[in-house]
């Protein structure tokens, strides 16, 4: 028969289904602390923060809801095997919330890790996911079911550099800091996180460019009578954006700050979609990719997708009633607005086109 370990009362552990709970003791005693001038605190707190959903995948949000950071006790240290560095009382570790309240010897494999720096929390949580959560005997059945579902649905890759940066920034927001003997709580972890004024440089750069770009409309009411309503509505779901470090793992050839467009509905999400066009012709020819995304985007309501499907069925009929070249002119206007290019008067544009045609004829002869 399998040994059944009695469930620890919920009051003694942090539960992902309950409101965030904290357990805080007094600051370290100066006689035990190798850094007596640095005030450190005992405690434990979930890794999860309200901002997680905007920057991390559903699976990683789940992991942070089921993993906490805590101050090591004497009994945590007593059962540890020798490693490359020793663990001290009060040093902060990362552990599964479901079995942290068990005696250390009764915990399943890799229930607790002690990353030496804040930057290693990301890897420690990945280790707990890989080696522990699948066999954690204290995880409630409904939580396990959700874990297995999210793992099966999880897509490879995410926001790359920005993801790891977010883990570091959020850890600091919880009060975690690096010391010569490992991580520690630099403030009382029972207190709520401070306002978001310590965001990563990459996220700040994105915010700065958003201020400049998102206020610019790509389509205007004047465009409506010149184009099929389907194109107008789809393009109206886009907004300007910039290429950032977070996009490097997707489009390595782009320069930081390159202008592009993104779906308004999933902008800022872990699976948000961006488009970077190299020319007016590329924007026009790749329009089908934009429409395909709109139909797949989980942040767009189903009734709006149904409306897009209806408008698409009318596109050919509406286009047949428009002037020849109206679609090209529309995408040219969109391109010019995106790149802050002033629209030329129609007469000037026609004259330039005529000159280009004459020049091409001269070259052929």
173-177 — which CB contacts under 8 Å span 24+ positions?
Answer: 173/49, 173/198, 174/45, 174/47, 174/49, 174/69, 175/41, 176/69, 176/92, 176/118, 176/121, 177/118
Q: How far apart are CA 182 and CA 117, in angstroms?
A: 6
pLDDT 10s digits, 280-332: 999 999 999 999 999 999 999 999 999 999 999 999 999 999 999 999 999 99
Q: What's the pLDDT score for residue 8?
A: 41
Alpha-carbon distance 167 to 310, whole Å? 43
Q: Is the pLDDT of residue 173 over 60?
A: yes
Task: Identify the pLDDT of residue 217.
Answer: 86
What are the pLDDT digits (tens) for 201-237?
Answer: 444 444 444 444 455 789 999 999 999 999 999 999 9
Q: What is the average pLDDT across 167-179?
A: 91
Who's near 56: CB < 8 A, 6+ residues apart? 64, 158, 159, 163, 166, 270
Looking at residue 26, its pLDDT comes to 39
Of residues 259 and 16, the one with the higher pLDDT is: 259
8 A C-beta contact, residue 326 and residue 226: yes
pLDDT band at residue 108, thresholds of 50, 70 and 90? confident
Model pLDDT, residue 299 = 92
Q: What is the pLDDT of residue 127?
A: 94
Torsion-angle region of 325 (φ positive above 0: left; ψ -120 to 50: alpha; else: beta): left
**Please, are residues 227 and 327 in contact by the beta-carbon 8 Å criterion?**
yes
Indicate the pLDDT class of residue 200, thresholds 50, 70 and 90.
Answer: very low
From the centroid of its chain, how far is CA 147? 19
C-alpha radius of gyration, the chain, whole number: 28
CA 349 to CA 341: how far, in whole Å?
A: 13
Q: How confident is the model at residue 146 (pLDDT cuts 50, 70, 90)?
A: very high
More confident residue, 111 or 84: 111
Q: CB-based contacts of 284: which residues, under 8 Å, 6+ apart? A: 327, 328, 331
**pLDDT confidence of residue 14:** 44
User: For residue range 53-79, what is the model confidence (pLDDT) as tens digits?
Assistant: 767 788 889 999 999 999 998 888 776
Is residue 158 over pLDDT 60?
no
Q: What distance in Å separates the CA atoms of residue 222 and residue 244, rounded to the nearest whole number?
A: 32
Residue 344 — very low, low, confident or very high, per pLDDT cuts 50/70/90?
Answer: very low
At residue 123, the pLDDT reads: 93
Q: What Å distances lie between residue 342 and 135, 334, 335, 336, 349, CA to CA? A: 62, 11, 10, 7, 12
The mean per-residue pLDDT over the stretch 144-161 comes to 72
CA-wise closest residue to 46 among 19, 75, 23, 67: 67
Is 91's pLDDT higher than 80?
yes
Give me the mean pLDDT over the 29-39 stretch.
61
Average pLDDT over the chain reads 79
How confident is the model at residue 362, as a pLDDT? 62
Q: pTM, whole model, 2 decimals?
A: 0.54
Q: Give the model's pLDDT for residue 268.
A: 77
């Amino acid at each position: 028969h399998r040994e059944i370990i009695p469930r620890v009362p919920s009051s003694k552990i942090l539960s992902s289904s309950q409101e965030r709970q904290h357990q805080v003791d007094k600051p370290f005693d100066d006689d035990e602390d190798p850094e007596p001038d640095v005030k450190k605190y005992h405690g434990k707190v979930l890794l999860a923060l309200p901002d997680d959903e905007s920057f991390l995948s559903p699976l990683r949000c789940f992991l942070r809801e089921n993993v906490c950071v805590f101050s090591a006790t004497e009994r945590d240290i007593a059962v540890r095997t020798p490693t490359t560095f020793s663990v001290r009382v009060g040093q902060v570790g990362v552990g599964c919330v479901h079995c942290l309240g068990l005696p250390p010897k009764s915990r399943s494999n890799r229930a607790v890790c002690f990353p030496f720096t804040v930057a290693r929390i990301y890897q420690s949580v990945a280790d707990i996911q890989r080696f522990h959560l699948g066999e954690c005997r204290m995880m409630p059945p409904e939580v396990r079911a959700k874990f297995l579902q999210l793992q099966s649905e999880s897509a490879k890759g995410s926001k790359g550099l920005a993801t790891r940066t977010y883990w570091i920034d959020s850890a600091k927001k919880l009060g975690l800091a690096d010391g010569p003997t490992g991580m520690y709580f630099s403030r009382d972890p029972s207190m709520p996180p401070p306002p978001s004024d310590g965001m990563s440089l990459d996220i700040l750069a994105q915010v700065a460019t958003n201020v400049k770009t998102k206020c610019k409309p790509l389509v205007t009411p004047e465009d409506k009578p010149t184009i099929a309503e389907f194109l107008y509505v789809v393009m109206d779901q886009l907004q300007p954006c910039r290429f950032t470090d977070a996009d490097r793992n997707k489009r390595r050839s782009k320069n930081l700050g390159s202008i592009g467009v993104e779906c308004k509905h999933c902008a800022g999400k872990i699976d948000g979609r961006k488009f970077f066009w190299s020319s007016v012709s590329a924007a026009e020819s790749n329009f089908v990719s934009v429409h395909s995304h709109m139909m797949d985007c989980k942040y767009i309501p189903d009734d709006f997708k149904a409306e897009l499907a209806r408008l698409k069925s009318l596109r050919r009929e509406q286009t047949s009633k428009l002037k020849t070249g109206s679609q090209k002119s529309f995408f040219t206007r969109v391109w010019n607005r995106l790149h802050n290019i002033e629209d030329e008067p129609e007469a000037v544009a026609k004259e330039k086109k005529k000159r280009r045609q004459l020049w091409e004829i001269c070259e052929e002869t």
